[in-house]
Structure 1
């Protein structure tokens, strides 16, 4: 499979904060580091223009009207888990920082933060966003391929992932070794895998559901 070698578009940087002056300041700061950003004054405004099929790095305020930064993170974890999020807050505490990081945030910065600290975080976020998007896209492509398998082929694949040889799989499923090998060949063809070994590696690497 060579899908993961497909080029990834540049990550788009969003600054999401309901404070216009702060947004203007951050935009100026990032522009000084040659980083172009899109300003959104609410989570709703961001969602209206966000493309989940592209990488993105967010500088996201924790507390905002209507939809908070943490609620937006919860939503993005469903529709775009590849997004890199840098939380910023003037009211942060350890519990909030820990909870957002456990939920997948890249960083949590307390206002006022050092300008270079934010620039470094965004530059890292842009790189992380591209890597996360590549993995997300690869997992989705692989999942689509696995959905082409018959229930029997999935049964065989599950046991292959467990590391069982064809002889053991044949006994477990009540079929001949030759039939197991036929299923293995069809699995390889349908998933466009270079080999069953690379298929298993990718399934485990990208945590793709098979059952």
Structure 2
């Protein structure tokens, strides 16, 4: 596991529903399973309290004033793609459930929900959120390291990613093998990579543009 992935903080579950009674019952259920939760009675309140530094699973009502659950799902796809979403609704239909699942929701449960089914869905959502968050953090870290490089260093790195040896890189860029190796050493130092090979592996793993 990467260093970034191993340092991920514990996940939190947000209960986003305008029904106070339902929020309290879900919070009690999660507390009984030792799962941290935060109650929000609107999408706006959730957005104001959402902590992007923690993996998150959201138990989200479909119909709420001002911003609906599916609308919040659309917004989160842009600002927090690693979250897991479990929809709960007393008005859900097959089309709505299919649309939300296609858009990336973890599950869609109808009210009144079965407590064990909700708990099972949340536990799975928390696990997925932690994995997705770790992956996103690592991907962001690799991209940040690439941004530290000069344009010439990125040119060299791109060719290393292609699998070209220093001699071929030198011919392409009109420089000596020694100069290419100097660039490779600087890339390694700036990114803090164990080796160019491990950095290239991470670039390929996360699809990071060079």
Taking structure 1 as the reference length, the TM-score comes to: 0.87
In structure 2, what is the Cα distance between the partners aligned to 1:177 and 1:153? 14
In structure 1, what is the Cα distance between the partners aligned to 2:191 and 2:129? 26
Residues 73-92 of structure 1 deviation map (CA, whole Å, 9 limit, x = unaligned): 22222222222222223343
2:16 maps to 16
Measured at CA, do residues 130 and 153 of structure 1 come closer, stay the same or move farther in structure 2, by a change above 3 Å?
A: same
In structure 2, what is the Cα distance between the partners aligned to 1:168 and 1:99? 50
- What residue ranges of structure 2 are gaps of 5+ in the alignment? none
Question: Does structure 1 conserve the Cα–Cα contact (< 8 Å) formed by 2:5 and 2:138?
Answer: no
Question: Does structure 1 conserve the Cα–Cα contact (< 8 Å) formed by 2:13 and 2:37?
Answer: yes
1:70 maps to 70
Measured at CA, do residues 36 and 171 of structure 1 come closer, stay the same or move farther in structure 2, by a change above 3 Å?
A: same
- What residue ranges of structure 1 are gaps of 5+ in the alignment? none
Measured at CA, do residues 207 and 108 of structure 1 come closer, stay the same or move farther in structure 2, by a change above 3 Å?
A: farther
In structure 1, what is the Cα distance between the partners aligned to 2:203 and 2:92? 37
In structure 2, what is the Cα distance between the partners aligned to 1:157 and 1:199? 10
Measured at CA, do residues 200 and 93 of structure 1 come closer, stay the same or move farther in structure 2, by a change above 3 Å?
A: farther
Residues 159-188 of structure 1 deviation map (CA, whole Å, 9 limit, x = unaligned): 222223333323333333332222222111
Residues 23-70 of structure 1 deviation map (CA, whole Å, 9 limit, x = unaligned): 233223223333332111111011111111111111112222211222
